[in-house]
Amino acid sequence: MKKFFAGWLSVMLVFSAFVPAIAANDTGVIETEQITELEVSRSVFSLTEIRTVEVSADLGEGVNLDDVEFQFGGKPLSEWQKWSGGTDYDGEPFITVVEGPAFVEGTNEITAVLEFGLLYDTDNLSNRTIRTQYQQFIGDYELAVVDVESGTKAAATVALNVYDEFKFYDELKPAIDEIFEAAEEDEENDRYLEYQKVGETTEGRDIHFVILARDEAAVDQYLDETLPAALEDPESLIEKLENGTMGDYQVPIWFNNIHPDEVEGVDVQVELLEKFALEEEVEFLNTDGDTEFSENLNVDAVLDDAIFLYMFTSNPDGRAANTRANAEGFDLNRDNAYQTQVETQQVNEVLSQWTPLSFIDFHGYVNGFLIEPATPPHNPNFEYDLLIGNMMEQAHAMGNAGIANSNLTSYFIAKEGYGSGWDDMTPAYTAIYAMLHGTLGHTIEVPALGQDGYNALVGSGLGAAKYVHDNKDELYKEQLEIFKRGVNGEDNRAVDEYYVNAAGEEIGRVRGDNENFFPDYYVISADNKNQKNVLEAYNMVEYLLRNGVEVEKTVKPVEVDGATYPKGTFIVPMDQAKRGLANAMLYEGDDVSDWDAMYDPIVVNFSDLRGFDLVEVRDEGLFDGKTQEIEEVVIPTSTVKGNPPKQILENSTNDAIRVVNALLADGKTVEVLTESKGSANAGDYVVATNDLRAYADDYYFETQVFGNGKNVETEVLKQPSVAATGSAQLNFSLSQLGFELTDSAEADVIVSDGNSFAAEQVTGKTFIGIGAPALNAVSESGLLSGFAFESTGGRHEGLVKADVTEHPITAGYEQQENLYVTTGSWISGVPEGAEILASFQDSEDFYIAGWWPGYEQARGQTMAITADSADTTFTLFSNDLAFRAHTEHSYRLLANSIYDAVSVEPEPEGNGKGKGKGKGNANKN
């Protein structure tokens, strides 16, 4: 809406320059207002920089200076008041007349000097309240001098921007096109420019990507020859570098933005593209810390060494809406490992295909000009000793150029000046994810939103380019050494000194009883006899391939530790260049609970959090000659066996939930088994065969023939009416499962992971609460007598062993499961009559991985319960069921809880009334 307003205002103001305005004189006769040209000394003004403008105009004879009024956007300057807080703008005027008006002696020309001050009384608009508002003022305006007596006006169209180079999302592609056109028109410019639309956002906006190289041959050589050799036989390239026979080659430098409300990072890339695409030489300032000096980059020489890649923003929806999050409400800079969002899936696939040498992610805003490398603890899947030296040098190169080209006076490197809490343990962040590709990955944070921040980032981008240009061979050799360790399966102890505990003591990679931190293989079975969740197994393989990890499948049965895996079993060989990336997603994880601060949750562990079986194999060469490499994987379709009246739809995948919701939405009958019998389990669904067939090609689910169904107890599911309160991730997860959401007043079931709770809204309903905020809301309400919970900290997280009780809500789960907690909480008081659904295992090794200082207190405590109180059913989980849409293994706990609230016993034959389960809300629909 803000963008629409700015655009509409711009059109109207330009239109007013050509259409005479209508005014009434003192006799009441309507006259045409005369508009002449206003001369201005500048036409662009800034929300983050004070600027003055000299104006002059001839309004004709007989003008009284007392009748002269200055206007901006059709309003007197006095009405353009400064921000005073919140959404109020009632301070002093931010545009003032500082000289004049006065006549030029002997003429009718009127001159004056206006000052455009700071609308927000600061040149730094990074304040989160200001950040959501300032863009409504960006646009073109009419600046005018008016004789209010005669109505004569002199006007010019001027622009107001946050800083001169800011562009809305819709202006980004035209700016790129303009650079392409300028390059094409320059007959002497033979540089290679390629635009790619690499994907679309949730709302359908294009994700823009540009490649700039010396020529097309350089791109082809890198992608078709250099990179494949680097990943498959890095030692051969190392030898060529060492003996001087490497010849002509280029390495990629990737510029990035993922938080589009940290706006400079988008616009800086446009300027960097323009400089390297169009200029012969790029001149900029630099410093060695003591002396400032001028640098000249010969662009053709730079392009002999580098290919520039511009990912202007991986979140176009956020750029359009001026939000940090994407349209689904997710911070994409927390999604690079999980990749639940379409934007990160598409962008990281491109990143994996390029495997850049240097990756620069432009951010803001923190206290100071901060550049990574990050603090410990470091992710053990990095070859950190091969990364850190060059990353430190590149950080200094970027910092020096950044301060030299702006008014910022200093920078600091997180690893040296932050202590703890700015770590690179999690691969959720873009630059850290890039490091798993052997890339020099840097997050750069400027302290202020404004022209200075912009200038500093431009300087840092130029500093990075110069650093790679000056040190290409050395830098590339180190990246190749990373790949070489992977290909050779080498766990080099040189990394160990960088892996320390909170006391600063070296602990190295945590190897336990193993000689090598990395296994030889991961085995992901794909058959339902060996795999509890075939769908998630295939999804994992698709993920690995998309991220540049080699995956094979067996061509014959293979025995591993007494188990026989059939032909078609997926194998992830760990003697490959990107074994660190594969391991970061597949290994169990580390316990870093001794640290006093961590920046973000660290547990990735796809196997446990997505819910598929994974086997770690430490037997070198076991699969030699027994596999073939695969390039793609196709999720299998479903088989509905035979033609009996009904089928059992097993409660084993999230697709089964999606099918149930689709059937219910279509008015079909779905029953749920209330007891286990034969191979069918309580919690499985019973569906008419003909109804189920329609979904077999679009979903993966597993079925059994139901037979005649005699002596098997079932309940009928009603279509649930569900409301969600709390996080966007909860809404997303519920929608993923096919639940249609409504508001709380209309819902049968309210699901919450937030602290919003109204007693009147839950009466007669089921309330499903997830995590400490929801548990606290229930506790504070007093509605559930005897309930209490405890928490060590709302950001504490951990993967834990849990004992699971047999119950309709836990149907489809095993007696012992690894579950995930993100709010450091447990249930300490269980109400009388409540049913315990799960508990933290009472064992010394119950805690597996994560950052949870004080986790010992949760040992043996209750994790989840369901209880009735008056007219409300409370189902409460201290573990997280929908964290960033990554905890998909827990989704069925969420679905089971919802279905348990709306299931009813089937109507007896000849009786028109159903019988509820005894809960106060069992018959509600």
Show the CA angle centred on residue 683, arms to residues 682 and 686, nearest 5°: 95
Residues 107-127, mean pLDDT to the nearest whole number: 97
CA atoms lying within 13 Å on the CB side of residue 527:
12
Q: Determine the Cα–Cα distance for residues 655 and 865; give it in Å rounded to an integer.
A: 26
In DSSP notation, 410-439 reads --EEHHHH--SSSEE--TTSHHHHHHTTT-
Domains of the chain with bracketed CATH: 2-161 (2.60.40.10), 175-493 (3.40.630.10), 521-630 (no CATH), 646-717 (no CATH), 722-904 (3.40.50.880)
pLDDT tens figures, 630-658: 999 999 999 998 889 999 999 999 999 99
Q: Position 741: which residue type? A: L
Q: Which two tokens stand for residue 120?
A: 């927000």
What does residue 267 show for φ and ψ, rounded to 5 degrees? Answer: -70, -35
Give the closest residue to 538 by CA, choosing from 266, 528, 596: 528
Q: What is the pLDDT of residues 585-625, one digit of tens each?
A: 999 999 999 999 999 999 999 999 999 999 999 999 999 99
What is the rounded radius of gyration, in angstroms, for the C-alpha atoms of the chain?
A: 32
Strand partners, 209: 196, 311
Helix (H) or strand (E) segment spanning residue 8: helix 2-16
Backbone angles phi, psi at 608, to 5 degrees: -75, -40
Distance between CA 809 and CA 807 in Å, rounded? 5
Task: Collapse the DSSP code of 149 into the 3-class scheme (helix H, G, I; strand E, B; otherwise coil) and give the result.
Answer: coil
Give the integer Cα–Cα distance in Å for 278 and 260.
Answer: 26
User: Under a CB-based contact definition with an 8 Å cutoff, are residues 108 and 63 in contact?
Assistant: yes
Q: Average pLDDT of 36-63? A: 96
What pLDDT does 10 receive?
A: 38
> Each residue of 408-446: pLDDT tens digit?
999 999 999 898 999 999 999 999 999 999 999 999 999
Average pLDDT over residues 223-248: 98
DSSP 67: G
198-234 residue pLDDT tens: 999 999 999 999 999 999 999 999 999 999 999 999 9
Averaged confidence pLDDT in the chain: 93
Helices (H), 793-838: none
Q: Which of 659-668, 675-684, 847-856 has the least mean pLDDT?
A: 675-684
Beta strands 862-869 and 835-840, pairing class? antiparallel
Per-residue confidence at 870, pLDDT binned at 50, 70, 90?
Answer: confident
Report the C-alpha gap between 584 and 579 in whole angstroms. Answer: 8
Pairing of strands 872-877, 766-770: parallel
Checking if the pLDDT of 21 tops 60, the result is no
Residue of 49, 38, 65 lying closest to 141 (CA atoms): 38
Cβ atoms 749, 720 nearer than 8 A: yes
pLDDT tens-digit readout, 364-391 = 999 999 999 999 999 999 999 999 999 9
pLDDT, residue 562, reads 85
User: For position 23, what pLDDT does the model report?
Assistant: 38
What is the rounded CA–CA span in Å between residue 323 and residue 12?
Answer: 27
Residue the block writes with tokens 């702006």: 406
Query: From CA 510, how far away is CA 591, in angstroms rounded?
Result: 10
* Local confidence band at 253 (pLDDT 50, 70, 90 cut-offs): very high
CA distances 126 to 69, 418, 429, Å, are 34, 21, 21
pLDDT over 90 at 783, yes or no: yes
For residue 740, name the pLDDT band (cuts at 50, 70, 90): very high
Give the H or E element holding residue 751. Answer: strand 749-752
Q: What DSSP character marks residue 746? A: G
Cα–Cα nearest to 495, from 387, 594, 598: 387
Phi, psi of 616 (to 5 degrees): -90, 125
The DSSP symbol for 21 reads P
The 3-state secondary structure of 624-659, one letter per residue? CCCEEEECCCCCCCCCCCCCCCEEEECCCCHHHHHH
SS3 of residue 891 by DSSP: helix
The closest alpha carbon to 201, from 309, 314, 117, 102, belongs to 314
Integer Cα distance of 636 and 700 in angstroms: 7
> Which structure tokens are listed for 148?
């209010």
Which residues lie across from 109 on neighbouring strands?
58
pTM for the model: 0.93
pLDDT of residue 907: 62
> Residue 27's pLDDT is what?
37
Q: Are 526 and 536 in contact (CB under 8 A)?
A: no
Mean pLDDT along residues 249-261: 98
Specify whether the CB–CB gap between 110 and 65 falls below 8 A. Answer: yes
Helix or strand holding residue 865 (H, E): strand 862-869
CA angle 201, 752, 345 (to 5 degrees): 20
Residues of the chain with pLDDT > 70: what percent? 94
Q: Per the structure block, which two tokens stand in for 16? A: 């007013």
Q: What does 450-488 look like in DSSP terms, one character per residue?
A: SHHHHHHHHHHHHHHHHHHHHHHHHHHHHHHHHHHHHHH
Q: What pLDDT digit, counting tens, does each position of 704-732 carry? A: 999 766 678 999 999 999 999 999 999 99
Q: What local confidence, expressed as pLDDT, does residue 908 receive?
A: 58
How confident is the model over 845-852, as a mean pLDDT? 98
Is the per-residue pLDDT at 915 higher than 60?
A: no
